[in-house]
Amino acid sequence: MTIENMPLGKAINAGLRKALADNDKVLLMGEDIGKLGGVFRITEGLQAEFGTSRVFDTPLAESGIVGSAIGLAMRGYRPVCEIQFDGFIYPAFDQITSQLAKMTFRHEGKLAMPVVIRVPYGGHIGAVEHHQESNEAYFAHTAGLRLVSPSNPHDAYWMIQEAIASDDPVLFFEPKSRYWPKGDVNLAGNPTPLHSARVARAGTDVTLVGHGAMVTMLLQAAEIAQEEGTSVEVIDLRSLSPVDYPTILESVRKTGRVVVAQEASQNVSLGSEVAATITERAFYSLEAPVLRVSGFDTPFPPAKLETIFLPDADRILDAVDRVLSY
């Protein structure tokens, strides 16, 4: 059977298993990923299947995890690092942005850096700060890094394998609130290219653009809008760096109106960059300004306030109404 119904977290697990089986140079490393299977059990069962030399626990030292991965990559391995939570990545920031991102450029392309860093990110799980952040903009700003984020189990299964196969460093942002909802995964199909966006829903009046967990919220808003007579197209970015602008611009030229939504704060964000690029490249196709819907420009709040901080369908629909009013 080539179609299986599974949660996004299990799809990543299956993708990692396939990568480990296909290439003995693939290694998994991180805090508690071995016997425990990680905080979210994404690597559950993989150490028992492939052994402690392929799937192993590391000390609680993110800079050491990434630094060791860089050395392993230089020796021909394909390490996959897990950062337990988004906000724990900062001790490794220097290793990622000053070393990992620059190594291939310094060697004029002669040295590959096939390192994948898995980053569970985003809100909706009722946790505290440093456990629910959306910090992808820091790394999207850094030349030399690739960033991707699946929104559904099928993409998660294929994208983690494509990321591991890349000779460039890839930050694999996993929307942790989507770990548990199930979806169909075609285990035998041809995957969409890693850095291609996806039209998640076709429409004619407004284009909604987002990534990760926000895609589910955009689809909910589109369904409500449809009931009110507005046809909404939803674009799942999938790749955050590079961004597949041709797919986005094709939609924009059809609808003439755009709302970009994200969980991250708005100031100097990925959504701001997408909005600016759309305005720059498709100005004469726009019937209204590109609007942004984001988390607020504050630190991530206590869990009881996360529903106020994070964009919901109502905030997205309010932006849709505003963009249609021009």
131 is catalytic: yes
In the block, tokens 């790394």 appear at: 139
In angstroms, the Cα distances linking 242 to 78, 141, 245 are 21, 10, 9
Task: Give CA–CA dist 315/293, Å, rounded.
Answer: 7
CA separation, residue 113 to residues 81, 116, 156, 317 (Å):
13, 9, 22, 42
Please enumerate, as own/partner, the contacts of 186-193 that have beta carbons within 8 Å and a separation of 24 or more. 186/2, 186/3, 186/154, 187/2, 187/3, 187/4, 187/14, 187/157, 188/2, 189/2, 189/158, 191/158, 191/159, 191/161, 191/162, 192/155, 192/158, 192/238, 193/162
Catalytic residue among 124, 130, 131, 141: 131
CB 23 within 8 A of CB 163: no
Is the CB of residue 15 less than 8 Å from the CB of residue 156? yes
Encoding tokens for residue 145?
């890094």
Residue keyed to tokens 């337990």: 84
Q: Would you give the DSSP letter of residue 179?
A: S
Whole-number Å distance between alpha carbons of 250 and 298: 34
Looking at the annotation, which residues are catalytic?
131
